[in-house]
Chains A and B, each alone.
Chain A
């Protein structure tokens, strides 16, 4: 689910379309719209206002993303552009679009499962059996195991497939 407020003007609608071409610098398979971090695109007193929500508190890509939005929209002649960050409601992986999930899988990253209602993350303090099965993005097998809770970025974990022996990354549900 990804509800963004898009203004009625042609300029806002054009900007919304362009944001589908602005990629996440850390996971360049996804556009900002696929990722679900665009909360609003509206026109305010001559400027274009874009509201984004950060994925993680310390995500180092936030500043690059802000900058690439300004660059992309300005280059298309839609400037001036103001980008603001809005924390609440907190971003969740549930906002990644279906198209985004397919792109993640094709890129070799297992997409996140649904976030447990009311709890955010289905975590048990003391884990016994394997947690929810994550399907291998290459062969589809659910015979996989977690190697590390954190991957190349905070939003991913490292897994390996026991069936096809390939290591892969999993976008964690948050």
Chain B
């Protein structure tokens, strides 16, 4: 039971895992705010959103695992780092509150766009998961947008922190929309949209909020992160160590 599992790398599986791991890893990062958020209401808000994301991840990993006979826990806790296919953006350490709400805005806007399209997926189970999740993503996006405006257009200190966080995060956004064979296969089979096709809508919505917040969109960078291909930053190993410790130490343990 402690041995790592190896996933099949067919395009459908990769497409589902990119989405499921995005929810799983961001959910874990948001959960880290439990007991640490600046005010109690935000502590509750961030952990509630973590709960939604983990719930979405559970549904997606359960679905993705069926083809190979794995359950959600095996996929969540027994894969090696390179078999996690989330974009690098979501694995970055949680940073300060400005960093967290800016990243939430970026990811919730992406996920909302994906769920909207996926509600019409040729995969009925994926469509059902999306139909539920899109309602949740809308609230996550709204929450993040409210805070980005409040902090960006807030005090000198809150604005300075937003500018710094945005500069750091922006370099990781091109990866979200890089086209590849996995996306092409999903678009061809009707499984789901190419993430690249969502870029224009994403940029418009994120841009609207940044403009309202008085934050300039950073210049494009040639840097490309590679998490969706399973090649992660040093931060991924640390978050997986924390997530996987119990399941590896007490194989098959359950609540």
- A and B bind: yes
Q: Is B55 an interface residue (CB 8 A)?
A: yes
Interface residues on chain B, size class? 35 or more
When distances are taken between beta carbons in the complex, the residues of chain B under 8 Å from A87 are 59, 125, 128-129, 131-132
For residue A28, give the distance in angstroms from its CB to the closest CB of chain B: 19
Q: Judge whether B236 is part of the interface by a CB distance below 8 angstroms.
A: no
- What distance in Å separates the Cβ of A52 from its nearest Cβ neighbour in chain B? 13
Q: What class of interface size applies to chain A in its complex with B?
A: 20 to 34
| Cβ A126 vs Cβ B212 within 8 A | yes
Q: Give CA–CA (A152, B128) in the complex, Å.
A: 27
**B205 neighbours in A (Cβ, 8 Å):** 125
B81 at the interface (CB under 8 A from A): no
Q: Is the CB of A56 within 8 A of B136?
A: yes
List of B residues within 8 angstroms of A92 by Cβ = 135
- Contact partner, B56, options A58, A91, A151, Cβ 8 Å: A58
Chain B residues with CB under 8 Å of A60's CB are 51
Q: Which of A17-25, A68-76, A97-105, A142-150 forms contacts with chain B?
A: A142-150
Residue of A127, A148, A154 with highest tally of chain B CB at under 10 A: A154
Q: From the candidates A54, A90, A125, A148, name the one contacting B208 in the complex (CB within 8 A).
A: A125
User: Does B143 reach chain A (CB closer than 8 Å)?
Assistant: yes
Supposing A58-B53, A87-B129 touch, asked if A121 and B124 sit within 8 A by C-beta, the answer is no
Contact across chains for A126 and B59 when beta carbons are under 8 A apart: no
| Chain B positions near chain A (C-beta within 8 angstroms) | 41-42, 44-45, 48-49, 51-56, 58-59, 124-125, 127-129, 131-136, 138-139, 141-143, 145-146, 149, 205, 208-209, 212
* Given contact pairs A126-B149, A149-B146, A152-B44, a sample of 19 additional A-B residue pairs in the complex whose CB atoms are under 8 Å apart: A56-B52, A58-B56, A87-B59, A87-B125, A90-B132, A90-B135, A120-B134, A120-B138, A121-B135, A125-B142, A125-B145, A126-B209, A126-B212, A149-B142, A149-B143, A150-B48, A151-B44, A154-B51, A172-B139
- Chain A residues in the interface with B (C-beta under 8 A): 54, 56-60, 87-92, 120-121, 123, 125-127, 147-154, 158, 172, 174
